Amino acid sequence: MISETFIEKTYPILLENSDVGFVLTAAIVFDEDNKTKELAYVIGKPGFHSMQTYVEGVLLGNNWPYSPGCAIFRKTDLKKNLLLNIPNKIGSDFSMHAVGNDLTIFLLTSLDYEKFYFIDEPLSQFRSHSDSISTSSKYEKLILLYHMAKAFFIENYVRDAKLIKKFNSLLALNINRFPNNEIGIRCIKDFYFNPVNVEINKSYYYISMIKKLYLPAILKKMKVV
C-alpha cells in the first residue's frame, strides 16, 4: 500500500532530474494478527545518493529495499528491466516463484543512471501475512534465490574484483548456513550460470560471519535487542 501523498512526493523528483533512476521511500511492515509495526528501509540521509551506493548496499548489506512497492520508476525502465526469468543452473523457474525478479528491476535500472533519491518518510506499507511469498517460503530459500538474482547481476555487469570477492564471501557464508538446502545449492559455482572467478575475501567472510551469525545471537541473549 502507498500513502495518499506517495506520488506527489516522489514523481516530481523523477520529472525534474533525468540522472535519477528511481526514488525510494522508507516503509512500514505490519502484522495485522499481532498488531505489530516495524520501520524498514531506512538506508541513510534523505536526498540524492550515488547509484553505486545502492548497488553495493543491496549486494552486500541488510535492510536495502528489494520491492518496487516502495519506489517509483519510469515506465520505460520497468518495461526494459522486468526480467521474467533469470538464467540459472539449478532449474529454478523465477517466472513462477518471482523471488528475485523485483530486485533485478532495481539493479538493471541502476546501469543507466548516476543517482537515486531517498525519502526517509514511510510512504509505503507492507502487510506480512501467511500467504505471501516472503512469509510462506522457507527463509533459506528466500536468501539463496535472492543471492542467485544478485549473482546474475554480478556475473553480467560487475567488473569490480574487490566487490565480487566480498559478494562471493557472502555466498560461501550462506552455503555454510544452509548446507542441505532444498534448491540444490552446494557451492559458489552453483549461483552462477557461466564459469566465473569464485575467489572470496577471507577477512570479509569471517567479519560477516561474526556480524550476521554470532553477534545477533549474543545481543539477543544479553537482551540488548
Q: What is the pTM of this model?
A: 0.88
- pLDDT for residue 36: 80
List the chain domain ranges: 1-137, 160-225
Q: What CATH architecture does domain 1-137 belong to?
A: Alpha-Beta Complex (3.90)
Q: Which among 58, 54, 59, 61 has a CA at the least distance from the CA of 21?
A: 54
Counting residues of the chain whose pLDDT is more than 90, the rounded percentage is: 69
**Count of CB atoms within 10 A of residue 209's CB?**
17
Please state, rounded to an integer, the average pLDDT across all residues of the chain: 89
Alpha helices in 94-214 (DSSP H): 94-97, 101-110, 133-136, 139-157, 161-177, 202-209
- pLDDT for residue 21: 98
Total residue length of the chain? 225
Per-residue pLDDT tens over the stretch 32-43: 776 788 888 999
Which helix H or strand E contains 8, and what residues bound it?
Answer: helix 6-16
